[in-house]
Each structure stands twice: as structure tokens, then as C-alpha cells.
Amino acid sequence: MSEFSERFNLARYLLEQNLALRAEKVAVRSRRRSLRYREIDVESAKVQRLLEDLDLRPEQRVLLVLPDVAEFVTAWLGVLKAGAVFAMVNPRLPEDDYRYYLDYSRAPVAFVGEGTLPAFVRAAKGARFLEHVVLVEDGTLEESADLAQEARGLLKVWPLSAALHKYHETIAATSPAGQPFDTHRDDVAGWLFTSGTSGKPKAAIHFHQDFAFNIERYCKQVLNIRDSDVTMAVSKLFFGYATGTNLMFPFACGASTALFPERSTPEALVENAREFHPTVLAAVPTTLNGVLQLRDDVVGDAFSRLRMVISAGEALPAALQKSFEQRFQVEILDGIGSAEMFHIYISNYPKEVRSGSLGRLVPGYECRIVGPTGEDAPPGEVGTLWIKGGSTALGYFLDRDKSRATFHGDTAITGDLFRRDAEGWFYYEGRADDMLKVGGIFVSPREVEECLLQHPAVRECCVVGREDSAGLVTPFAYVVVHSGFKAGVPLCAELQAHVKSLLAAYKFPRAIEFLDALPRNDRGKIARAELRDRQRARGERSRSTSVIEEKAIS
């Protein structure tokens, strides 16, 4: 039986206690605009009324294509109050991607930031379902004079049949709605898009109570977010990881969130952290690694008030974790979650961090580690993770076959390979479809990557399979080196010898390609599939001079 009442709305769950206890507290902090809980409640009720006036029906989707600004929060809450369904999209995509999301979501209303407007409008020409565009003046046009000129031209001569509404003008002239729509706990609240590592992203469909289930377990029982906390995230709010850690979690606990719309470069993160002094930082390993490359005088006291760093989205190398914790004297809680489960379900706990491990189950979640023939793998053996909990998605929109393959009631088959020790600690071994079979023996790319990262020259890397001239699979490494190291044949030989000295000889990368940076998807994850495709496109032997083949190493 559900712990939440039958009539349940996620927006009310996040706001009501704050309105009673801390209505005048600043909930959203940003350079351009900060808002108190009371102001957020009023403005989101005006968004609700706006959507009702636009004849939006409960359960219809609303596309949010916004940077991390205060209006993202009020629009997102207003969608929930209207009983509609949020679908959040990266505001820095090419027009073809927006064309896909418009057609796939069938959203009649879209909230669009002014910096996104040109690409979005080009994509929206001929869109079948879009009826209204709400333009949020978010200040991002300052990034590009050309972009600003194109956006101003569009506003002078609006080219779409969908009606244009300017957010601030419309909200100023709109009265707040009375009460949120009377949603059921099992009404659909939002879509969380998969990372799209193979094919186009699909929407995992979540009910109102799904989000609250994880908040009550992970946010309150593991992280123990306090009302005195200020949260900040590297990932942007359109990504479920940040929607949780930097919107839902602080609101559920009466804390404050700090938002900044620009890209989360290490420099931008430090600059904003210096201004807002977060106590909880939700990060990804790539950015943490970038911060470590900055000089002490650049970082200053930006992270002096941190009491906790959360890491997810990609593997956290043990060496990186140790270096960051020693330099900044703060724990990193590594964990894993997914769009299918909303948020993190396996995590390290404060003051109980085990480096190299993703931690233990979050309260309220159950799991199996399933071997190749369907049996439960014994402790120490690798298998596929099956995770069960009250935040499991209903399924994927417009993909019945994939839904049936992934979801079994409240259980999701993740495709992630794990081993669990006898004490209940979990260790990530990679994706099932990433495993390489070399000489008839399975090799985990993650293991080879961890080994390479122990070498002082390696800043980041990715290991994929590559067919040799005989059609046999061998490990191939893409490597980004630290400044001060020279990519070339000598370093290649050194890295190969390094791996051979620490791992079984058959696991070493037979060839290495040095890159300036690894490609990433719009969630910030390494685009492993893109790197695999890059190998296939080359054929049996690469002619690229940047690829260095195996040398005679005994």
C-alpha cells in the first residue's frame, strides 16, 4: 500500500511545509533573480492559470527548454499544479533534436529560453502539435551578438502558427490559480529522458508519488539535506539528476538552491560557488577532475563551506576521489541512479565512504545480481543488476517492446554489471553491452580505464572493443593526457606497459588514440557508443596518424 495519500500533487508536497514554516526564506538564489518560497508559490500558481487559459488539459505534456534560471523552477511547479506533465530538454541542442522532441512529446505548449529561440523556431516550423510558445527572457542572449540579432528578428516577425507569449508580461497580467489540480498519486507527473547512448532518447514515465518516494529515502535518509543547506549542481535542471539534487531535494527539506545558466566548466563552477557558497554539491567526475587542475589561487575559498559532494552519471575513479577529498577536505558520496528509477538507489553514506565502491542500497530499494542463466550471482561474482523500488517508472513512451524487456512490476532490469561483496557493498563493472570478450575471456573496460587513470599522464580515457585484421576483438583506448605530457609512441608504450604491470596481460590496450577531449552526450556522459562507431567506421586497420599501434613490449 502506498505511503502517500490517494490525492497527491508533487508541487504541493514540495511547497506546503515551506509556506507554513519559512515563506519569506530565499529558496532560489541566482545572479539575475532570486525568489522566496512565497514568491515561488504565487508565480507558479500564475503559470498554472496561464496554462489553464491556454486550454491545456491535465496529462498533456509541456516541453521545458530552459536554462538554469528561477523561471525554470516556477514553470516546472506550475506545470505540476496544472496537472500536466513536464518534459525537460537541454536548451543547448541543435534544431534536429528539438524537431524530434516536439514530434515525440506532442506537447501543445513549450517554455523556451531566449537563447534557444532561434534553433527552436527553426525546428518548430511545421510542428504538428505545438500551439503555444512561452518565451522566457533569461538573459542568455548576451552570450552571442549573432544569436541576439536572430532572436530579435524572430520576435519582430513571428514565423510560427503557434502563438507567442512573453513570460514576464503574461505572468504580470495573470492572477494566480486557486488550488492545484486535484491529482491522484498515480497521475503522470513527468517524463525523464534516457541518455540516448544508443538511438534517440526515450521518455521514462513517472507518477507524482515516484519522485516523493526517492526524496523520502535518498534525500532525507541518506543525504540528510538540512534547511540550512545551499545546494548547487554541475548538471543542469533538465537532467533528472539535477532536478532531484538541485530542485526537489532542497525544496523538500526547506533548503536553498543556487542556479547559474552558463555551461558548467570548472571555472564557471568555481566562480558561482565563490558567490553562493554551497554546502552540498552534486557533481560529475569529469568536472571534479577539471577543478583539480585549477590553481589554489583560482579556486580560493569557493568550496570552503562544502559538507558533502555527490557524484553520479559516470564512474568515479578511486584516484580522483582521493585527490579531491584530500585537497578540499570533503567527502564524495558516489552513487548510481537512472531515468528509469528517477534518482540514486545505490550510494555511499556520509562518514561511511568506501573508495572504489558505489556503496550500499538506499533504504526502500531491493535488488538482485543476476547471472547469465538467470540465477542470483553469489557474493563477489559479476551479474546484471535488477533494482526494485517505489520510484520505478511505468515504462517508456511509445516503446512497448523495450518497456516489457526492462520493467517487471516495480523491478527494472538495468543492463549494468555489478558485483556485491558479502557485506553488501556494490562495485560497478560497466554496462553489459560494453563488455569485451578477448581471447574467449570477458574484459571489463572499466577495469582497464581505472588502471590507465592511475598513470600520472592520463587525464581521462575510454576503452572500447576493436576488431583486428583477423576479426578478433581487442581493447582499444582513447586517452586525453594532462598538460605537461606529450602524446606519442613513447607514451603509448609506457601506458601499455603500465597496464600489463597491474592487470592480466591480455587486458592491455593494443592501440591508443590520443584526443584533446572525449565526446560527451547532452547529460555530460562519455559518448561511448560514438567512440565504438568511430572504430567500426575505420575498418580493420586505422590510417589515422593519431592512432598508435601495439609496440614490441614483452
Biggest distance spanned by C-alpha atoms of the chain? 77
DSSP strand pairing (280-283 vs 256-258): unpaired
Quick: pLDDT tens for 448-470. Answer: 998 999 999 999 999 998 876 65
At the topology level of CATH, where does 207-432 sit?
Rossmann fold (3.40.50)
Q: What is the arithmetic mean of pLDDT over 342-351?
A: 98
In one letter, which amino acid is 281? Answer: L
Quick: pLDDT tens for 165-189. Answer: 999 999 999 999 999 999 999 999 9
Q: Minimum mean pLDDT among 64-78, 327-341, 481-495, 539-553: which range? A: 539-553
C-alpha cell of residue 21: 514554516
At the topology level of CATH, where does 435-549 sit?
GMP Synthetase; Chain A, domain 3 (3.30.300)
Q: Where in the chain is the domain with CATH 3.30.300.30?
A: 435-549
Give dist(CA 406, CA 414) in Å, integer: 7
SS3 of the chain: helix, strand, coil, percent, to 5: 35, 25, 40
At the topology level of CATH, where does 10-16+33-206 sit?
Rossmann fold (3.40.50)
Q: Where in the chain is the domain with CATH 3.40.50.980?
A: 10-16+33-206
Give dist(CA 301, CA 270) in Å, integer: 9
Confidence of residue 472 (pLDDT cuts 50, 70, 90): low
pLDDT of 445: 87
Give dist(CA 47, CA 57) in Å, integer: 14
Record the pTM: 0.85
Under 8 Å between Cβ of 538 and 476: no
E strand or H helix at 475: strand 473-481
For 62, half-sphere exposure in the C-beta direction (CA atoms, 13 angstrom radius) is 33
Cα–chain center distance at 532: 22
